[in-house]
Amino acid sequence: MASSKKMMALENYAELPSYILPSSSPPSSETRITLVKTTLFLSVSVGYLLLSFHQQYSKGNPVPIFIFEQHPSMFDAFVAAIIFSFVASITGLLIASKKRLEILRNLYFIIALFSIVSAISILAFVLSVESYKLFSTGCKFMM
Tell me the pLDDT band of 20, cut-offs 50, 70 and 90. Answer: very low
Higher pLDDT, 109 or 142: 109
Look up the pTM and report it: 0.70
Cα–Cα dist 112/141, whole Å? 37
Residue 14 CA, distance from chain mean position: 35
- pLDDT tens for each residue of 33-58: 888 888 889 888 888 888 787 788 87
Higher pLDDT, 134 or 23: 134
Helices assigned H by DSSP within the chain: 2-14, 29-52, 72-94, 102-136
Half-sphere exposure (Cβ direction) of 140: Cα atoms closer than 13 Å: 3
Question: What mean pLDDT value characterizes the chain?
Answer: 78
Cα–Cα dist 85/41, whole Å? 10
Cα–Cα dist 95/11, whole Å? 38
Q: What are the backbone dihedrals phi and psi of residue 68, each rounded to the nearest 5 degrees, phi first?
A: -95, 20
- Weakest mean pLDDT among 11-15, 47-51, 71-75, 79-83: 11-15
Cα–Cα dist 113/129, whole Å? 24
